[in-house]
Structure 1
Amino acid sequence: MNEAPERTTAAESEGSADPAKPVEAAPYDGASPVLLQASAAKRANASVIGMLIAVLVCLVLALPLAFFTAKPKDQGYRPEVDVSAAATDAKGVAGFQPLAPALPANWSVNYARWNPAGSDGVAFWEVGYVTAAQQFISLTQTAQPNPTWLAGRTDNAPVTGTRPESSTQWELRDKPGTSTSLILKSTASTVVLRGEFNNTAVPLSDLDALALAVVQANGNVR
């Protein structure tokens, strides 16, 4: 008599699985909460706190720097330049009295400096002015002028006439689109006023105003 084969139930099959084979964990379904161990949670909190502290420290260090380096909001701001003091300092090496004319109304000064002689052998005093219309005029004064130096200071502009300023005669040199200059020669020194072209030419009235201030500042330039 043949014996019927034994049937194995599902439970018995699971129980008879290879005990050496690891049981794979089910994939995370996104719904069940992820629990961190206490040590891992502590490290995560410490990282967040450390990052916040670093950001606060950076802000504390950056705010004073931004305050002290902030530029003036006023677009008309100009650095304060003491032309008279600079002229006094330069007098000892200049061999003449460097000019420090009074500023016309609403003008400002960019710089005032003594320039030692270069390859051309000409040392000179120089002041930069910004007019009320935001145009630039430079004043150059030297006791050692020569034709080549004068041509360079006036952009090789031709002589186009003269301008009388308070009993003095200034030579006018004009190069349209580049500059307009007035030159006053005297036994003590030679003065060059150069108006730089910036979208438009510097008005002769502004050059006249500075020339008059030069004459009033120092009578020995006549």
Structure 2
Amino acid sequence: MSEAQEDQQSAPVTPVLTAKQAKRANASAIGMLIATTVTLGLVFFVYLLNPTHTAETYTRDVDVATIASEAEDAAGYLPVAAELPEGWTANYARWTGASGDGVAFWEVGYLTPERQFIQVTQTNQSNPTWFAQRLEEAAPSGQRVIDGVTWEMLDSPSGDAYLTTERDGFTLILNGTADLAQFDVVGAAVLEKLG
């Protein structure tokens, strides 16, 4: 075999495409671009249909007094519906019947005007197990007096503050992320409703 023949055999072969073959080869790439563009257009359209999420999107102001009166028969007492100053809202109020722990309770979630959270829990059936579970490993950190009533203060590992007291046969628990001055507002409103 001559040297020229060896070079010819070792040289890579460059394929030559006909016009029809080249058109078919490019059709896959063009189809992929069209499909990608259509998909992105649909995603963008769906994105535009969704409302924006702002703090107001999640704001609910439930009628706590109405829900409390509806729960009265099940509770056997009128659950507390605190009357709070302008700017406060309640985002839920519910009666939870006795479950495995045997304790039925009332709870309401309030948002302060600064969008901080305080939950009120009320029961006349507290027991040590239920009480410990509600406090979520919070440790005592002192006492606080609200309208002449002493509340035990606790701090939880999650950062929530807790205030708890016994009043007129009820166990009351306040917990949340708000500052203590706002706990005072809720505590005073709850005590006023209890009379």
| TM-score where L is the length of structure 2 | 0.68
Distance 1:25 1:161 in 2: 95
Task: Answer yes or no: is the 8 Å Cα contact 2:94–2:108 preserved in 1.
Answer: yes
1:185 to 148, 167, 171: 167
Give runs of aligned pairs for residues 1-222 of structure 1, distance below 5 A. 24=8, 27=11, 36-69=17-50, 71-72=52-53, 74=54, 78-84=58-64, 86-146=67-127, 149-150=130-131, 153=134, 155=138, 157=140, 160=143, 162-164=145-147, 169-175=148-154, 179-183=161-165, 185-186=167-168, 190=170, 192-196=172-176, 202-203=179-180, 205-215=181-191, 218=193, 221-222=194-195
Give 1:193 deviation, angstroms: 4.0
CA distance in 2 between partners of 1:163 and 1:65 (Å): 51
Secondary structure of the 2:58 match is coil
C-alpha contact (below 8 Å) 1:171/1:184 kept by paired residues: no
Note if contact 2:126-2:171 (Cα within 8 Å) is conserved in structure 1: no
8 Å CA contact 1:125–1:141 kept in 2: the answer is: yes
Cα distance between partner residues in 1 of 2:41 and 2:72:
48
How far, CA to CA, are the matches of 1:43 and 1:141 in structure 2?
Answer: 74
The structure with more radius of gyration? 1
Quote the Cα distance in structure 2 between the aligned partners of 1:163 and 1:26: 95
| 2:71–2:95 Cα contact (<8 Å) kept | yes
CA distance in 1, matches of 2:154, 2:93: 25
Change beyond 3 A, Cα 1:150–1:134: same
Q: Which has the higher helix share?
A: 2
Q: Could you tell me which amino acid in structure 1 is paired with residue 92 of structure 2?
A: Y
SS at match of 2:188: helix
Distance 1:99 1:132 in 2: 21
Structure 1 unaligned blocks of 5 or more: 1-20
2:106, 2:122 within 8 Å by CA — same for their partners in 1? yes
| RMSD between aligned residues | 3.9
TM-score (norm 1): 0.61
Cα separation, 1, equivalents of 2:58 and 2:179: 19
Amino acid at match of 2:172: V
Does the CA-based 8 Å contact 1:139-1:191 persist in structure 2?
A: no
Q: Is the 8 A contact 1:182 1:207 kept in 2?
A: no
Residue 39 of structure 1 aligns to which amino acid in structure 2?
Answer: K
User: 2 CA distance for matches of 1:151 and 1:170?
Assistant: 22
Number of matched pairs = 184
Assess if the C-alpha contact under 8 Å between 1:78 and 1:109 holds in 2. Answer: no
Once residues 105 and 202 of structure 1 are traced to their aligned partners in structure 2, the CA distance between those partners, rounded to angstroms, is 18
Superimposed CA distance per residue, residues 34-69 of structure 1 (whole angstroms, 9 cap, x where no aligned partner)? 863122122123212211221122123312432355
